[in-house]
């Protein structure tokens, strides 16, 4: 697309992880396919070795988060790392901009860059970009922000690119067999513990709290006269708390590591609390020390500490943070 606009281009791929799964965006095979695409287009190709930074900033926090009872989202941590590195490479090459394949839009207001939702909502990735700082956003372009994925595949096919029919990349690129298998490969040992109901009664046993996630229904290993869901993981006690679906619902939450670009007390705000979930209207915001208390206009089911809370106004990302816990009223 940018070649058709007459741009002067060079290409780059970040090497983040040594895995071999074809769906991984950073496997050796993916690097080879990227280099081949660049060659097909007659463009120089650079490889950025970010494995050490990725390990320190993404993988290790992921492992620590799960062991502490949280459910981290590694893509949120990855994007600031690799986009900052690409912006630095562009600076070295005296190139003014970095174009990426994210499904998101960049809008400018009063001279400042803001991330906005993509036109193709089913593929929108703006949620993953809330932690990218404005100085990096200012260097970015998102050429696919107005397009649907099928249209992009058709364009790649028309251009004769071998990657036109590549399978979808996976969300956790370094854990193709699942996060439980990955954690075990990092030396996390299964430790037996109790499955406990909301009244504190032991109703079953498990082989490690980190094997579960909030909202999970299947695979709990407990027989009951009603469907049970994972409500909470208590890492210190190695307990998995279960209860009915109604107990999953919250109307408030606490957010830490807050980035506030234009929250303005919560007026006309929505907050998205999981990557694939629908946004929820915000009723009010209240600062409590370093955290933000968020009250919702509607109940949200399956709040998971460690996930991102991303705030939107008119489809533009105006802030974000990490879910600490349900609010005081839940």
Active site residues: 78, 173
Q: Which of 172, 220, 211, 174 is nearest to 190 (CA)?
A: 211
Q: Which residue's structure tokens are 């490969």?
A: 185
Which residues contact residue 108 at a Cβ distance below 8 angstroms, ignoring those fewer than 6 apart?
114
Q: Which residue's structure tokens are 């370093």?
A: 290
Q: Which of 261, 322, 327 is nearest to 296 (CA)?
A: 327
Question: Residue 272: exposed, middle, or buried by beta-carbon count in 10 A (0-12, 13-18, 19+)?
Answer: buried
Q: Which of 304, 289, 294, 295 is nearest to 255 (CA)?
A: 294
Q: Which of 165, 184, 182 is nearest to 174 (CA)?
A: 182
Alpha-carbon distance of 8 to 194, in angstroms, equals: 60
Q: From residue 30, give the alpha-carbon distance in Å to each of 84, 85, 148, 292.
A: 21, 18, 22, 40
CA torsion, points 186, 190, 196, 197, in degrees to nearest 10? Answer: 50
The enclosing H or E element of 67 equals helix 60-67
N-to-C CA span, the chain: 49
Q: Which residue's structure tokens are 């994007």?
A: 79
Query: What is the token pair recorded at 271?
Result: 């907050």
Decide: 194 and 205 in contact? Cβ < 8 Å: yes
């Amino acid at each position: 697309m940018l070649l058709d606009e007459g741009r002067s281009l060079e290409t780059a791929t970040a090497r983040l992880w040594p895995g071999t799964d074809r769906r991984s965006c950073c496997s050796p095979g993916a690097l080879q396919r990227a280099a081949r695409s660049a060659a097909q287009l007659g463009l120089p190709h650079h490889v950025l070795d970010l494995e050490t930074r990725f390990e320190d900033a993404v993988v290790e926090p992921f492992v620590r988060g799960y062991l502490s009872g949280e459910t981290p989202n590694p893509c949120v941590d990855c994007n600031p790392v690799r986009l900052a590195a690409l912006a630095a490479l562009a600076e070295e090459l005296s190139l003014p901009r970095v174009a990426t394949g994210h499904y998101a839009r960049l809008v400018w207001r009063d001279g400042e860059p803001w991330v906005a939702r993509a036109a193709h909502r089913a593929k929108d990735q703006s949620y993953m970009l809330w932690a990218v700082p404005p100085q990096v956003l200012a260097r970015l372009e998102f050429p696919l922000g107005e397009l649907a994925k099928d249209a992009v595949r058709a364009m790649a096919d028309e251009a004769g690119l071998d990657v036109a029919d590549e399978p979808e990349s996976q969300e956790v690129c370094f854990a193709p067999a699942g996060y439980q298998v990955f954690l075990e490969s990092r030396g996390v040992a299964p430790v037996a513990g109790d499955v406990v109901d909301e009244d504190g009664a032991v109703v079953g046993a498990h082989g490690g709290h980190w094997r579960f996630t909030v909202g999970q229904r299947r695979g709990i290993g407990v027989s009951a006269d009603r469907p049970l869901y994972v409500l909470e993981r208590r890492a210190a006690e190695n307990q998995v708390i279960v209860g009915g679906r109604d107990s999953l619902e919250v109307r408030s939450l606490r957010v830490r590591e807050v980035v506030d670009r234009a929250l303005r007390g919560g007026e006309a705000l929505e907050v998205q609390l999981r990557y694939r979930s629908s946004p929820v209207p915000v009723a009010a915001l209240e600062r409590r020390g370093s955290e933000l208390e968020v009250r919702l206009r509607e109940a949200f089911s399956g709040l998971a500490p460690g996930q991102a809370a991303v705030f939107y106004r008119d489809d533009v990302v105006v802030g974000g943070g990490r879910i600490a816990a349900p609010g005081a009223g839940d």
